[in-house]
Structure 1
Amino acid sequence: MTASKPMDSAAPTVSVIGASGYSGAELTRLLQRHQGVKLQHLYAFSQAGKRADDLYPATGCPMTYLPYEGGTQSDIYFLALPHGEAHSLVPALAAAGKKVIDLSGDFRLKSTQEHEAFYGSKKPAEAVMTYAMPELFKEEIASATTVSNPGCYATSIILALAPLFRGAGGMPKVNSVACTAISGLSGAGRSSKTELSFAEMSENVRAYKVGKHQHTPEIMQALGTSSTDPSFAFTFTPMIGSLVRGIYSTLTLSLDSPAEAQAIRARYAEFYQGAPFVRVRNEMTEVRHVAHTNFCDIHIPDSGRSSSLVVISAIDNLLKGAAGQAVQNMNIMLGLDERTGLL
C-alpha cells in the first residue's frame, strides 16, 4: 500500500547485497518507497562505485553501490546473489540476529542430495531456511528470522497446484502433471550471454534444462513429496521466449476420477480466499495481466466433467517470482500487512 505518511524514524533499516542485478534493482525500487522500512545500503561487486539511478534510471534511487566487506549495520538483509554465494554470508548475519531473506537457491531444499544433484554444488547439511511461500507457510514465515525466497518457475507452478495437494479433501487425486512454462529473458540474470542476445532470441522460443531444472525438487518438496520418490509423475519443460519479463505456465493434470472444472475452480477460490496476491480468474490469464505486479493469476478452463484438467498461471518473474515476493515475506516477518509497498 502506498499511503503518503512520513517515514517512522525508528523504522527497521534494510540493505541489499547483490543490488545491481535485475532482482536487486526491483528490490531497490520497492524498498526505497516502502513506508515500513528505511533503505540503508546497496551492495554490489562489479558495479561498486556507480549510482543506482545511473545503472537503472527507473529506480530513481541516488544511492551508490558499495562493495560488501562484511558488517551487520542493518536490521534486515536481502541477498540477491548468484546461486552458491549466500552460503558464506548468511551464518554471520544470522549470528548477529539479523533478519535475512535469500533470493537464491542455496537454502531452499531440505535434501542435500537433491541440492547437489540439481544445482551441481556442495551444500552444508545445516543450510536450510524456512521456505517462504506466503500463501502456504505464512505462520512459519512470521516466526522466522532467516527465510529462503521461492524460485520463479516454482512460484508459478506450486501456486497452480497447491489447492489439489494441500488439505484437498474431497478432491480427486492427481496421478500426473505435465508442465510447460515459458520465462522471459530477465530470468537468466543481467550477465551477458550470446545465446540470450536480441539477435538470438527475437521471434524465438526454445526449451532448456528439460528433466533437470533446479526448480523441480523445490516444486515437489512444497507439494509434500520429493523428486527422488515422487507421489505423482511430474514432467517439467522450461522454455525461454522473446519477452523481457513474465512466466506463463500451462499444466495438464491427469486425475484418478472425473471432476467438474467448476468444482475445481471453486476449490481454488476457497483455498486462496485469504491470499491477496493470488487471483483465480474466470477468464484466460495473460502475462500482460501480471507484468510489473506481485500478482499470480490462475485460470482453469472449463472442460466439463473429465479426468484431465488444465491449469494456467502467470506471474512477473522479477516481482512475484523474486523481489516482490521477498518484500511480501519481509512484511510478514515484521508483522505488517503483507501488501505494504506492493500495491
Structure 2
Amino acid sequence: MRGYRKPTVSIIGASGYSGAELTGILMRHPSVKLEKLYAHSQAGKNVSDLYPALNNSMTYAPFDGSMDSDICFLALPHGQALELVPALRDAGKMVIDLSGDFRIKNPAEHLEYYKNRKPDGAWMTYAMPELFYDRIAASRAVSNPGCYATSIILGLAPLLCRPMDTFTVAAVNCTAISGISGAGRSGKTELSYAEMNDNVRAYKVGLHQHTPEIMQALGSSVSSPGFDFMFTPMIAPLTRGIYTVLNVRFEDNAPDCEHVTGHFRDFYASAPFVRMRDRVPEVRDVTYTNFCDINIAGAGNGKDLVIVTAIDNLVKGAAGQAVQNMNIMLGYDQALGIA
C-alpha cells in the first residue's frame, strides 16, 4: 500500500530469554518493523553472538532514556519498569510490559509479594486476551500476564468468571511445574545442570508472586478470597514449559467432565490459542508455540475435577502473549505473526 509505514518496535531488556523470544517473533512479524534492541550487561554485543539461531546482525545498545520507536516492549527484571514506563507513556509510546510491576492493583499486595513499593495507581490494563480483549484493544499501555498465572487462570476462568449453573467452586489446589528458563538467564548455582538434573524442587510454597495476580484476574483477591486457593510452584529439569494440575473442589457435587468440557469450549470459542484436548496434554505438545492446551478429568469421588494445562513459558507465558496483545492494540488479527 503506497504511503503505508509499518509501526516500529523496540525491546528494552532484549538479551534475556523472554527478550530473545520476542526478538525472534518480531523479526518474522509481517506488519511491524523491529528497530532497536536494548540491553545493559550485553550492550555492544551482536545478537548472533548470544543467540546464533536468531541469525540477527543487530547490536544490543544501552538504553539512554530516549525512544524513537512507536511501540516499546519491556522485558526487564521486576522493579525496573516502574522507573521507565511513565516517561514512555508520556511520550505517547505504546507500551507492553512483561514484568510484574504493573499487574497488581493493590500496592499493599504488590509490596507483600514483590518486596518493593510502588505508588498508588501504578497499574496498567491486565492483558490476558482470552478474558480482557476489549480492554486491551482500547489501551495504549498494558501489563503482560505472568507465565504461571497464564497457565492457572486459563484453567480456571470458565468456572469462576462464568460459573456453571448451580456448581460453585469451593477450593483449588494447584501444583505447577516450570522449566528452568522461567528463572531468567542470569547464572544461579541452584539452577545449574548439576543441581537440577534428575531433580525436582518446590519453592515459594504459598508465597509465589503470581498468586495475587491470579486471584485478581479471577475476580477475587488474596486478602478476601472467594474460594480457598493453594499454589505450589515447582521447578524441573526442562528448558521451557509449564505444566499445571488444578484440583478443583465444588461445594456440592461436581459437574460431569463432558458438561465442563463443553462449557470450556463455549468460553474459549473465540480464543485462537486455547485448545481443549480429549487427552491429558504434555509439555512437548506446546513448546515453541503460543497455545495453551487444557484437559478436564474427573477425580472419581463426585466432588472434584482435575484440570490439566500446558503452555510454553517463554511464548504463551511471555513473548508470544505479548505480541498477541500488541496485535490486538494495533487492530490486527491477534494471531498475526505468531501462529
Is TM more than 0.5 here?
A: yes
SS in 2 for 1:249: strand
Cα deviation, 1:241-296, whole Å, max 9, x if unaligned, reads: 01000000001011122211110111011100100000011111000000000000
Partner of 1:307: 303
Query: Is 2:333 the counterpart of 1:337?
Result: yes
Partner of 2:275: 279
SS in 1 for 2:45: coil
Query: Is 2:35 the counterpart of 1:35?
Result: no
- Aligned with residue 240 of structure 1, among 235, 239, 260: 235
Query: Is 2:186 the counterpart of 1:156?
Result: no
Partner of 2:138: 143
CA distance in 1, matches of 2:237, 2:2: 40
Extract structure 1 runs of 4+ deviating beyond 6 A.
none
Partner of 1:289: 285
Query: Is 2:25 the counterpart of 1:50?
Result: no
Distance of aligned partners of 1:7 and 1:294 in 2 relative to their CA distance in 1, 3 Å threshold: farther
**How many residues were matched structurally?**
338
**Identical positions, percent:** 61
Which stretch shifts more, 264-273 or 165-174? Answer: 165-174
Q: How far 1:72 moved relative to its partner?
A: 2.2
Distance of aligned partners of 1:83 and 1:7 in 2 relative to their CA distance in 1, 3 Å threshold: farther
Partner of 2:207: 212
CA distance in 2, matches of 1:191, 1:68: 19
Distance of aligned partners of 1:33 and 1:9 in 2 relative to their CA distance in 1, 3 Å threshold: farther
- Aligned with residue 19 of structure 2, among 8, 16, 24: 24
- Aligned with residue 10 of structure 1, among 5, 13, 29: 5
Q: Is the 8 A contact 2:179 2:238 kept in 1?
A: yes
Cα deviation, 1:124-178, whole Å, max 9, x if unaligned, reads: 1121000000000000000000000000000000000000011224151100000
Q: Is the 8 A contact 2:298 2:304 kept in 1?
A: no
CA distance in 1, matches of 2:3, 2:38: 24
- Aligned with residue 179 of structure 2, among 180, 184, 187: 184
CA distance in 1, matches of 2:66, 2:9: 13
CA distance in 2, matches of 1:266, 1:55: 45
SS in 1 for 2:303: strand
- Read off the aligned partner of 2:8 and give its amino acid letter: T
Partner of 1:249: 244
Q: Is the 8 A contact 2:10 2:37 kept in 1?
A: yes
SS in 2 for 1:320: helix
Partner of 1:269: 265
- Map 1:45-194 onto structure 2 (within 5 A): 45-170=40-165, 172-194=167-189
Q: Is the 8 A contact 2:280 2:295 kept in 1?
A: yes
Distance of aligned partners of 1:272 and 1:280 in 2 relative to their CA distance in 1, 3 Å threshold: same
Q: How far 1:60 moved relative to its partner?
A: 1.6
Which stretch shifts more, 321-330 or 296-305? Answer: 296-305
Q: Is the 8 A contact 1:118 1:213 kept in 2?
A: yes
SS in 2 for 1:336: coil
CA distance in 2, matches of 1:65, 1:132: 27
Partner of 1:3: none
CA distance in 2, matches of 1:62, 1:7: 29
- Any stretches of 5+ residues in structure 2 without a counterpart? none
- Read off the aligned partner of 2:263 and give its amino acid letter: R
**TM-score, structure 2 as length reference:** 0.98
Distance of aligned partners of 1:36 and 1:8 in 2 relative to their CA distance in 1, 3 Å threshold: farther
CA distance in 2, matches of 1:7, 1:155: 40
Cα deviation, 1:188-214, whole Å, max 9, x if unaligned, reads: 000000000000000100000001100
Partner of 2:323: 327
Q: Is the 8 A contact 1:12 1:37 kept in 2?
A: yes
Q: Is the 8 A contact 2:14 2:20 kept in 1?
A: yes
Q: Is the 8 A contact 1:98 1:145 kept in 2?
A: yes
